[in-house]
Amino acid sequence: MAYTVLVADDDRAIRESLGRALELEGYRVVGVDDGVQALTRARREAFDVLVLDVMMPGLDGLGVCRVLRADGSRVPVLMLTARVETPDRVLGLDAGADDYLPKPFELDELLARLRALLRRAAPPDGEREPSLSVGDLRLDPAARRVWWAATELTLTKTEFDLLELLMRNAGVVLEHTQVYERIWGYDFGVDSKNLAVYIGYVRRKLAAAGAPPVIRTIRGVGYTVRRS
């Protein structure tokens, strides 16, 4: 299986040379040159690992990592930086990064670190979870794939986690606070529209695949998944 890597670095030479090297190793690479683009792509697409430069214009790598972790994303993150002091490494790890590699780096070391991150993110052998099904809606937690009947849906990390949570509790009404705490790690408050926005994203993708309304809104309480 080809892993998909997001490489974010405002240094074009580093970004392109690293991209070419990763592609030669069999990775599918998406390259961006600033933190805003990195955050946008990481929220919209499923990546197996992120390689983020710490110092980027607009939004730096630390900021990208903090926002993704606040979103509930567990995608492995390798930080690249010219700063080698211990306090700088601590900042990166505290922001939610999984590993930290100072520049200049040896390609072999970066590849080894990526392999280690991907191994840690993979489920242990023999512990593959069974698929979840609600009518014609099927979700494979281990492969992180979703289908309506024969049509496969393309979901972001947060969208997948949200649908998985609802399907694991099919028929049960999950309150807003429960969903926020399970997906994002904390409650955004009664005025937040974040959950409703993501529910809307998932509903639109299900509808585009031909599914009827399987995610139900229980006004004033929360959401549930039920057979239509």
69 touches 25 (CB < 8 A):
no
Tens-place pLDDT, residues 56-113: 888 889 899 888 888 778 889 999 987 666 566 667 667 788 888 888 888 999 999 8
- How far apart (Å, rounded) are the C-alpha atoms in residues 166 and 223? 8
Task: Please write down the long-range contacts of 13-18, taking CB distance under 8 Å and 24 or more positions apart.
Answer: 14/53, 14/103, 18/51, 18/107, 18/110
Domains belonging to the chain, first-starting first, are 4-120 (3.40.50.2300), 132-225 (1.10.10.10)
Mean pLDDT of 173-196: 75
Tens-place pLDDT, residues 121-169: 765 554 556 788 999 999 988 778 899 998 999 988 888 889 999 998 8
Lowest-pLDDT range of 42-51, 74-83, 186-195:
186-195
- Is the confidence at residue 225, as pLDDT, over 70? yes
